[in-house]
Amino acid sequence: MDAIKAIVESLIFVAGSPLTVKKIAECIDGATEQEIRGAVQSLIADYEGRNSGVRIVNVGGGYQMRTREDMAQWIRKFMGLKPVALSRAALETLAVVAYRQPVMKSEIEKVRGVDVSGTLKGLLEKNLVRIVGRKDVPGRPIIYGTTKKFLEVFNLMDLSELPTLRELKELESSE
């Protein structure tokens, strides 16, 4: 078990992008996915337990090593980064795409009441939004959805982890 755990840890360390249990199982002969899942859980607990600045998170369908959020200021300083934030416009557009996908540009514009060509293009370039296809209506408009990278960037296991619109409405009315 400890051997598998060490291997899993090293694989997650080098991977960079989220690593699926399936992919790990392919690399370790004789280890079942069940065992690997156990090893990952045990690793997660280890990192939490010793208050490490790094943790292993389940994100975008796989496991990834990331720094803890309260380490951000030092990391930014070290890397010479300014805190980058998406603009309000981009976030609103992204929210509509995330909840309403697959969604047409005109539908996003109806919700936001403004032209979204620019923000949508920016989101496509950042690879947070992708073209899912075309809708089978006259004009065959393009329909959009979110990407795997969106899940990775926003720390989500999958889309169901987003708060539901009902929860958001309740939040709004309780203010």
Residues in the chain: 175
- Please report whether residue 157 would count as binding another protein according to CB under 8 A: no
Sheet holding 103-104, edge to edge: 103-104, 142-146, 129-134
- Where do the H-state alpha helices sit in the chain? 2-15, 21-27, 33-49, 72-79, 88-100, 105-112, 117-125, 148-153, 165-174
Nearer to another protein, 20 or 42 (CB): 20
> For another protein, which stretch binds (CB under 8 A), given 2-10, 24-32, 33-41, 68-76?
68-76
How many binding residues for another protein (CB under 8 A)?
A: 56
Contact segment (CB under 8 A) with another protein among 1-9, 29-37, 43-51, 77-85 equals: 77-85
Of residues 87-146, those binding another protein (CB under 8 A) = 88-89, 91-92, 94-96, 98-99, 110-115, 124, 127, 130-133, 142
Partner residues linked to 58 by β-bridges: 63
